[in-house]
Amino acid sequence: DTEVTQTPKHLVMGMTNKKSLKCEQHMGHRAMYWYKQKAKKPPELMFVYSYEKLSINESVPSRFSPECPNSSLLNLHLHALQPEDSALYLCASSTSRGVDAGELFFGEGSRLTVL
Amino acid sequence: AQKVTQAQTEISVVEKEDVTLDCVYETRDTTYYLFWYKQPPSGELVFLIRRNSFDEQNEISGRYSWNFQKSTSSFNFTITASQVVDSAVYFCALKENNFNKFYFGSGTKLNVKP
């Protein structure tokens, strides 16, 4: 079983809805990530939090808003999405703070469909 | 420029055949880390192996083996006696020093037929 838990597993939303994706890990990892993955493509980095601070934002549109309430939780708030935002959203965590790279541990993902 | 190249888009083999997945990377860092991940149809990315740039020892884990060659910037993955359960997309990834950023290759889809 994965040690990174994502909810919900599936989400269907309209373009005017506001929803959130949640991610939780209890491995003591201090780096947490959001990736977006379209079909037949590699994961695409969106955001990285390191020690609960946003350290990387890959120029993601503001309709995606990340939040890291504490070291175990990571949220992705969604608002006014477009159909092209439909994808698998993957959360990951790692021990890495830069110098000593730990591997990424991924959750099972949240499959988002925007109508 | 692509930092990680997986030239094989899709490979099909028959069960019990050996198969090698290629990965070529590009970096100017002297310290870096290489990874392989498996993504079965269920979607979750499963970590398989990590290699540090200063450790060129090859590794074997059951039917899996990895060949790391700095001289050719390659980190290839071999599955011996493939099984249907090995069918998945396999990603090679690179992490350079000082950044929490992992560069993924485009992935190789492996189909193992019975």
The tens digit of pLDDT for each residue in A33-75 reads 999 999 999 999 999 999 999 999 999 999 999 999 998 999 9
Query: Closest approach of chain B CAs to the CA of A53, in angstroms?
Result: 13
Domain containing residue B30: CATH number: 2.60.40.10
Total of domains in chain B: 1
User: Which 76-105 residues of chain A touch chain B by CB within 8 A?
Assistant: 88, 90, 92, 94, 96-99, 101-105
SS3 A99: coil
Which residues, in sequence order, are bridge partners of residue A36?
A: A44, A89
Task: For residues A34 and A23, give the distance between their C-alpha atoms in angstroms, rounded to a whole number.
Answer: 9
Contacts of A105 in chain B (CB under 8 A): 47
Residue A107 contacts B where some CB pair is shorter than 8 Å: yes
Per-residue confidence at B60, pLDDT binned at 50, 70, 90?
confident
Mean pLDDT for B49-67 is: 89
Residue B81 lies in domain: 4-113
Strands of the sheet with A4-7, listed across from one edge: A4-7, A18-25, A73-79, A64-70
